Amino acid sequence: MDDALEQIDRKVLQLFALVGESVAGATLALLSGDREAAKALADRDEVVDSLYHDIEQLTLEQLTVAGITSPSDLRFLVTVIRMVPDLERNGDLAEHVARRAARGLGTELSARSRGLIERMGEVAIHMWRATTDAYAERQPMAAALVDTLDDEMDDLHVSLTMEVVAGTMPLPVAVELAMVARFYERFGDHAVNLAKRVAVLTPSTTQTAWPT
């Protein structure tokens, strides 16, 4: 891998790290009621967006370089250009959770909903670590683990939605909580997409086509 591709690789890993820190911090801020931390996390989404655009620009520049003929380099660049939108979207989802934490949503939750959000946050972090490690180590088998964790995330989403409609919280709180539940569920979906795309980076993978 040449210097330009190594620079892109480092920036992708940095973006993975930023998003992981954001979702972990947003969950903690929501559950602890730390509004100042939540505001800081929400504002940091600008850093995620800027890094996303840097990676996208660098990758597109490399794709237009006529000298790139290596199948592995081309595979890397195409995979990155398809991955970074999911990375950026998960940064946005973490920001959405943080902004609701900044408005004090965490202080109005039922005990059961707090427990479910705590577990959703744990699953999200586990999924993200597995996906990050898969990218860093070019490990295609992570997709199976992330899929399994996503099944749990989907179950938690259903459980939290049932808690929302049970009428245990004021309607405005329930509406906001339903959106938070959806944010975590979508976070899991994007992690699954990323894990599948990582599998393409490894020549030994049994993947026969680009993930759509």
- The answer to whether the pTM exceeds 0.85 is yes
Selection from 175, 13, 52, 32 nearest residue 106 by Cα: 32
Residues in the chain: 212
Q: By the 8 A CB rule, do 78 and 210 touch?
A: yes
State residue 204's pLDDT score: 56
Selection from 54, 79, 70 nearest residue 209 by Cα: 79
Using alpha carbons only, what angle is made at residue 27 by residues 82 and 98, rounded to the nearest 5 degrees? 75
- In CATH terms, the fold of domain 3-200 is Methane Monooxygenase Hydroxylase; Chain G, domain 1 (1.20.58)
Quote the CA–CA distance of 46 and 33 in Å, as a whole number: 23
Query: Can you tell me which residue has the tokens 């569920």?
Result: 185
Tens digit of each residue's pLDDT, the chain (212 residues): 688 999 999 999 999 999 999 999 999 999 999 999 999 999 999 999 999 999 999 999 998 876 777 888 999 999 999 999 999 999 999 999 999 999 999 999 999 999 999 999 999 999 999 999 999 998 888 889 999 999 999 999 999 999 999 999 999 999 999 999 999 999 999 999 999 999 888 765 444 444 55
